[in-house]
Amino acid sequence: MNIDDIIKINGKLKDCEKKSSFFTIKNPRDIINGTYHGLGNITKGFIGGITGLVAIPYIHIKNKGSLGIFKGLGLGFTSSISLPIIGTLTGTYQIVRGIINTPNAILSSWYGKIWDSEKRQWEYFNLNDEKQYYLNLSDEDFLKNIKNPIFISDKGTQNSKTFDTKYYDLLKISPNSSEREIKKAYYKLAKIYHPDKNINKNINKNINNNKNINKNINKNINNNKNDNKNDNKFKQISEAYQILSDPKIRECYDKKGVDGINNPLIIDSTYLYSILFGNDKIRFYIGELLFSMYISIDKNIPVQILKLRQKKRELIIACNLIDLLEHYKKDDDKSNKYYIQCKKKLGENFLNKIIIKLIGIIYIESSKIYLGNLDKFTVKINRFKRNILNKIKFTASLISISKLKNNDNDNDNCKTKNVLDLLTNMMILDIESTIQNSCFKILNDHSVSNDIRKMRAKGLIYIGEIFSNTE
């Protein structure tokens, strides 16, 4: 299985955040932020100067031969002097600005204001205003303000002959399809044939057809047959995706068919779908996963649209949290039963259990940080440690896959397990970051009173303890 798209998500998002200038000159939040960017500018200046002294003459000599040597040396010498000077000046400027801004940062934070990294200013967060703006903002209007759109490359392969087209036919694509087209086809078909979708359809049919018992019995028999067919189809689609999404396995399949791929390890279809796209049962709590949003982007739409969709995702989850908290009443049996039932509705799915426990932990941590309990700093340290550990796991999986990919004696089963670990870690990082942001929004929402915000925090702790309980 190929994980290039997973790497591209992070790469594309980082490209979106590139500064228009080589040096950072944005208004710093405080002394920490100012020092960070200031030292960054100084470092970039010296590295840029050294690089320019070597690279610029080399490029001119390579392009223009001996005629370009003097011009190259002149420009290289100029950059070696100017860049360190500019870096030092802008770096010092940022540090000084950070020192000047620190008193205001302390006061603003004390009064409940938050730092808007886009506007570069302190302001009270208002959930209603943000909902009104972002949830009504169309993709077209958002993209109008994108200065440097970044598009996803989507080049197909050139297969002159394909031994077997079975897997391509299952995904309803041609043998010349690109990796992205394969993923997109799987995304669309898996949503249609996923078992949960068919169960929901049958439940709705049964509710509407209660008038005639005999007819219902016959329909149920037919529905069960259809469900089995759909389940098999779902598994076949998943297998086709896993074979064709890995370039090496796909190449063997194209040349020799099924007999040429040496029985690679196939991940359980339901589990694979869940870690890539989530599932309907838990979407109320986590929204649409980042990978799912990335795959659904059309090749003609700039990848920056992910920022808008992620913002909407966080806001929708925040609204869902407020609805969830409507059932909270301290020391009330009805509240306890309601939230236990919410947890039970997610079923015995192993992945759902991991996610709901993580959600519970984040609810508790976010609330304790907001309330400023005595264990606030312990919570922050534990959250930081967990975040670092998850990133280490993600990086370790990525390195393991890279080593296997470059080895002539690849162990496909081992590679598939590493990919599974990578996808799971990526999903956990995505969920954790998103839920933290959604909790932050409802706990720092100045469209409601301080008492309501405190009630929300206590309610989240109450729900979090139920969700994180493994019994």
Residue 163 sits at φ, ψ, to 5 deg, of -60, -40
Least confident stretch, 301-305, 362-366, 422-426: 422-426
Rounded Cα–Cα distance for residues 81 and 322 (Å) = 57
Tokens of 30: 């405080």
What's the CA gap between 194 and 269, in Å, rounded? 9
Largest CA distance in the chain: 94
Contacts of 425 (CB under 8 A, 6+ apart): 390, 393, 394, 397
3-class SS at 263?
Answer: coil
Burial of residue 371, with CB atoms counted within 10 A of its CB: 0-12 exposed, 13-18 middle, 19 or more buried: middle
Compute CA 326 distance to the chain's CA centroid, rounded to the nearest angstrom. 28
Distances in Å between the Cα of 210 and the Cα atoms of 85, 202, 213, 225, 376 are 81, 12, 6, 20, 55
The length of the chain is: 471
Q: Rounded mean pLDDT of the chain?
A: 81
The lowest-confidence range among 21-25, 155-159, 320-324 is 155-159
Instruction: Sketch out the chain's domains with CATH numbers.
Output: 31-123 (no CATH), 127-153+298-471 (no CATH), 164-264 (1.10.287.110)
For the stretch 376-391, pLDDT in tens is 788 888 888 888 887 7
How would residue 69 be classed by pLDDT, with cut points 50, 70 and 90? low
Dihedrals φ, ψ of 122, to 5°?
A: -90, 135
Is the pLDDT assigned to residue 48 strictly greater than 70?
yes
CA 434/CA 359 separation, integer angstroms: 10
What integer pLDDT is reported at residue 66 of this predicted model?
A: 62
Mean pLDDT of 415-428: 79
pLDDT one-digit tens code per residue, 348-376:
778 888 899 999 999 999 999 999 877 77
| Tens-digit pLDDT profile for residues 161-208 | 777 888 999 999 988 888 888 988 999 999 888 876 654 444 344 434
pLDDT at residue 320 is higher than 90: yes
The span from the CA of 411 to the CA of 396, in Å, is 17
Residue 250 Cα distances to 56, 242, 304, angstroms? 43, 9, 30
The whole-number pLDDT of residue 136 equals 94
**pLDDT, position 208:** 47
pLDDT tens for residues 214-245?
Answer: 555 455 545 555 667 778 899 999 999 988 98
338 band by pLDDT with thresholds 50, 70 and 90: very high
Tell me the C-alpha to C-alpha distance, in Å, between residue 50 and each of 266, 309, 398.
Answer: 50, 41, 32
How deeply is 151 buried, as exposed, middle or buried, from its count of CB atoms within 10 A (0-12, 13-18, 19+)? middle
Token pair, residue 420, equals 């599974």
What percent of the chain lies above the pLDDT cut of 70? 79
- 396 vs 203, residue with greater confidence: 396
First to last CA, the chain: 36
Q: Residue 215 burial (CB < 10 Å; 0-12/13-18/19+)?
A: exposed
* 218 contact partners, CB below 8 Å, separation of at least 6: none
